[in-house]
Every structure is written in C-alpha cells, then in structure tokens.
C-alpha cells in the first residue's frame, strides 16, 4: 500500500505566468534601485549602461536554466529534487545552503529597510527598535500567506512602475547624456565588474526554483521568465540616468542616487517633492520582497524537515533574520560595502549549484534512457 505523503508547497493555490512576472520584477527591482546605482557608478563609471546590458543578457540565460530545471522536475522544488539527484545527505546539504541563502538575503534587505525607514521617517529612533517592529509586521504578513503577498504585489507593481516612469521622463531635461561617453574609456573590465555585482541582484530570481511548481500554465513560463528579466534590464538601464544628471563622481558618492533624483523633480512648480511618495512605495516594495523571501525560507525549512504546518517556524526564522541584520552591519556604510563585495557567495548559490544540478539531471536522464 502506497504511503500517503503531503508535500508542502510555497503556495496552496496556483499563480499565473503574469503574476510570476510581477513577482520576479518586484523581487529584484525593489532593492536594485537602492544602493546599486551608486555602486555601479563607482565600479563601471561612464560604462554603467553597458554593465546593465551585460548583466541582463547573462541573467536571461540564468533564468532559462532555472525554468529548464523546473521543467525537468515538474512538481518538485529544488529542496526536493536535489535530494533525488544527489542523494539524501548531499541533497539536504543543498537544501540547507538555499535556506541559508534566503535568510542571508533577508537579513541584508531587512537592514536596508531599517536604514531607509530611519533616515526618512524615524531619524531619532534606534535602528534596533525599527528592525524589531519591521520583523513583527513581516512575521504577521508571512502568517497571512502567499496569496495575500501576490495580490498586494499586483497593484503595487503598476503604481511603482508608473511613478518610476514619471520620474525618468521628468529627469530627462536635466540629463547630459554626454556623461556616457566615451564608451570603454578604461576598457571592458569596469563594465564586467559592474555586471557581476548586478548579477547578484538578478540572481535573487533563483526563487523561481521554489515557486515553479505553483505556476499554472508552465508551457509559457520560459517566455514569462525571460520577459521579466528583460523588463528588469530596461528599468535598470533607465536608472543609469542618474549618471547623466549627477555625473559619475556625483552618483558614486551618493548612498541613494534614485532618491536624490526624485528630490530634484519640479514640473511647473506643481509636480514636486515626490520623495515622500516614492519612499512610501519603495518601503512597501521592500516589505513585499521580505515577505516573499521569508515565506520561501519558511517553505524550505518545512520541506527539509518534513513539517506539514508552516506556521510554527515563521517566528524563529523572523528572529534569525533580525539577529543577523544586527550582527552583520554597524551602519548604512557597512551595508553599502557589503553589497559591493558579497557577489562571490551569492553567485555560487544562484549560478554554481543550479548548473551542477542541471548537469546531474542530464546524466540521470541519459542513464535512465540506457
């Protein structure tokens, strides 16, 4: 008699390919607009726009890899098929690595959220208090479930993208696009360095390996995934307008170039002081990203240890993320330099392991045919 097992999934209800696109774009973009414009300006200089193109093309290939892996293992998450491919011990180790990755990214993003909230809205409040309040709200949000996150993300997506387009359009008259020239003044390496850092952000789309089984019509998921990366590339490319407005040196010295750009917007003395509105949407987007990351980490833990009820592990994961966000950084400058240099670890998880699993999948498939 077959044993009846229940597989815990990140969602109980299916999501559409369009919802998948929204999730990937918001997941990456909400923090890719915080520090990266300054970091890429410092690393790539005038060739920041080239770095965006290089990273977008590479990220498209990586997304194709994720979806191909998902197609090979249809109704399983990476937590499940890594055990099938590599055996129980190695598979569980891979699972732990990904849980650690999601918690690690969650700690960084939580600290970013705390620094933004403190600098913009709560300048006299201790960062620890801000992080504790944020963590409590996040735990409640994860408790509400993935469906709530998905629905809120849909309307926030259009609001955020719409306002971003307005800001870019109004910034064009202030831009001096000669700041982009000459191209490759210092060779190709500055562009490659910037692209590598951007890839660590694109790599967050590795969450696809967890939510793929929940996508309803998988026949179009490849197109949806690549389209989401293309859209991200377009938006990030538009973000390099900060260099055209402030110059390379000016942009590289700012912590939040996007926010400084918004503060300069003044259309006919009517449309101005948009920074409060942008900050509110920015904050909401980062909260949604954290909810998705925490939910994914929680799902990973449940699948790793075989729990059917995800609720008991929500608070421990939230507390772990909170603790790490305090231990990793002393101030906002630490966050900045950490993000500039943590790509070695993130790329090994978001590219190295999926490539390994893909190769093993091909070998297993070939052996099965023989």
Instruction: Report how far residue 364's alpha carbon sits from residue 87's, in angstroms, rounded to the nearest whole number.
Output: 12
Instruction: Report how far residue 83's alpha carbon sits from residue 305's, in angstroms, rounded to the nearest whole number.
Output: 12
CA 305 to chain centre: 26
302: nearest Cα among 110, 131, 153, 102: 102
pTM: predicted TM-score of the whole model, two decimal places: 0.93
Structure tokens at 235: 């938006």
Instruction: Report how far residue 251's alpha carbon sits from residue 105's, in angstroms, rounded to the nearest whole number.
Output: 25
Instruction: Report how far residue 337's alpha carbon sits from residue 316's, in angstroms, rounded to the nearest whole number.
Output: 28
CA atoms within 13 A on the CB side of 315: 3
pLDDT for 4: 42
Which residue matches tokens 């999501």? Answer: 15
Q: Facing residues of 88 across strands? A: none
Phi, then psi, of 308 in degrees rounded to 5 = -95, -25
Instruction: Report how far residue 355's alpha carbon sits from residue 347's, in angstroms, rounded to the nearest whole number.
Output: 11
Structure tokens at 247: 């110059």
- Per-residue pLDDT of the chain (370 residues), as tens digits, is 344 444 555 545 689 999 999 999 999 999 998 889 999 999 999 999 999 999 999 999 999 999 999 999 988 999 999 999 999 999 999 999 999 999 999 999 999 999 888 877 788 889 999 999 999 999 999 998 887 888 889 989 999 898 888 889 989 999 999 999 999 999 999 999 999 999 999 999 999 999 999 999 999 999 999 999 999 999 999 999 999 999 999 999 998 898 888 888 877 666 677 778 888 888 999 999 999 999 999 999 999 999 888 899 999 999 999 999 999 988 888 888 888 888 889 999 999 999 999 999 999 988 877 6
How many residues are given for the chain?
A: 370
Element (H, E) at 271: strand 271-272
Q: Which ranges of the chain would DSSP assign to H, the alpha helix? A: 17-32, 36-44, 48-72, 78-86, 88-120, 127-144, 146-171, 189-202, 208-211, 221-239, 241-252, 257-264, 275-305, 314-328, 332-341, 343-347, 353-369
pLDDT for 279: 85
Q: Provide the 3-class DSSP secondary structure of residue 12.
A: coil
pLDDT for 63: 98
In the DSSP assignment, the letter for residue 212 is: G
User: CA triplet 326, 331, 337: central angle to 5 degrees?
Assistant: 105
Instruction: Report how far residue 255's alpha carbon sits from residue 120's, in angstroms, rounded to the nearest whole number.
Output: 13
Residue 249, number of CB atoms within 10 A of its CB:
11
Instruction: Report how far residue 37's alpha carbon sits from residue 72's, in angstroms, rounded to the nearest whole number.
Output: 36
Q: Provide the 3-class DSSP secondary structure of residue 123.
A: coil
In order of start, what are the domains of the chain with their CATH numbers?
Answer: 10-343 (1.20.1740.10)
CB 207 within 8 A of CB 292: yes
pLDDT for 57: 98
pLDDT for 259: 86
319: nearest Cα among 298, 343, 338: 298
Instruction: Report how far residue 49's alpha carbon sits from residue 293's, in angstroms, rounded to the nearest whole number.
Output: 28
Structure tokens at 64: 């194709």
Residues 6+ apart with CB under 8 A from 107: 321, 322, 324, 325, 328
18: nearest Cα among 186, 132, 142, 150: 150
pLDDT for 330: 87
Q: Facing residues of 266 across strands? A: 272
């Amino acid at each position: 008699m077959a044993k009846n097992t229940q597989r815990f999934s990140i969602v109980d209800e299916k999501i559409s390919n369009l919802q998948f696109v929204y999730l990937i774009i918001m997941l990456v973009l909400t923090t890719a607009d915080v520090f990266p414009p300054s970091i890429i300006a410092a690393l790539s200089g005038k060739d920041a726009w080239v770095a965006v193109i290089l990273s977008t093309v590479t990220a498209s290939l990586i997304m194709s890899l994720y979806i191909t892996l998902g197609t090979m293992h249809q109704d399983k998450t990476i937590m499940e098929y890594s055990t099938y491919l590599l055996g129980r011990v190695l598979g569980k180790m891979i699972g732990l690595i990904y849980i650690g990755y999601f918690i690690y990214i969650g700690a960084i993003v939580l600290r970013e959220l705390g620094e933004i909230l403190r600098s913009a809205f709560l300048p006299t409040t201790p960062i620890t208090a801000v992080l504790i309040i944020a963590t409590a709200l996040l735990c409640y949000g994860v408790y509400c479930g993935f469906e709530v996150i998905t629905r809120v993300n849909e309307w926030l997506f259009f609001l955020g993208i719409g306002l971003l387009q307005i800001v870019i359009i109004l910034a064009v008259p202030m831009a001096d696009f000669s700041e982009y020239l000459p191209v490759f003044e210092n060779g190709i390496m500055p562009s490659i360095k910037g692209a590598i850092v951007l890839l660590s952000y694109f790599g967050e789309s590795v969450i696809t390996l967890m939510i793929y089984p929940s996508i309803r019509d998988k026949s179009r998921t490849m197109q949806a995934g690549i389209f989401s990366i293309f859209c991200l590339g377009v938006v990030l490319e538009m973000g390099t307008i900060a260099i055209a407005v402030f110059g390379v040196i000016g942009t590289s010295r700012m912590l939040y170039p996007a926010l400084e750009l918004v503060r300069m917007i003044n259309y006919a003395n009517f449309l101005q002081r948009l920074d409060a509105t942008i900050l509110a949407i920015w904050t909401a987007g980062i909260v949604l990203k954290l909810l998705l990351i925490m939910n994914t980490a929680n799902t990973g833990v449940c699948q790793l240890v075989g729990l059917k009820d995800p609720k008991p592990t929500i608070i421990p994961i939230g507390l772990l993320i909170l603790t790490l966000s305090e231990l990793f950084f002393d101030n906002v400058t630490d966050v900045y330099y950490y993000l500039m240099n943590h790509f070695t670890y993130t790329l090994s998880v978001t590219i190295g392991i999926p490539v390994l699993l893909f190769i093993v999948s091909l070998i297993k498939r070939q052996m099965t045919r023989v």
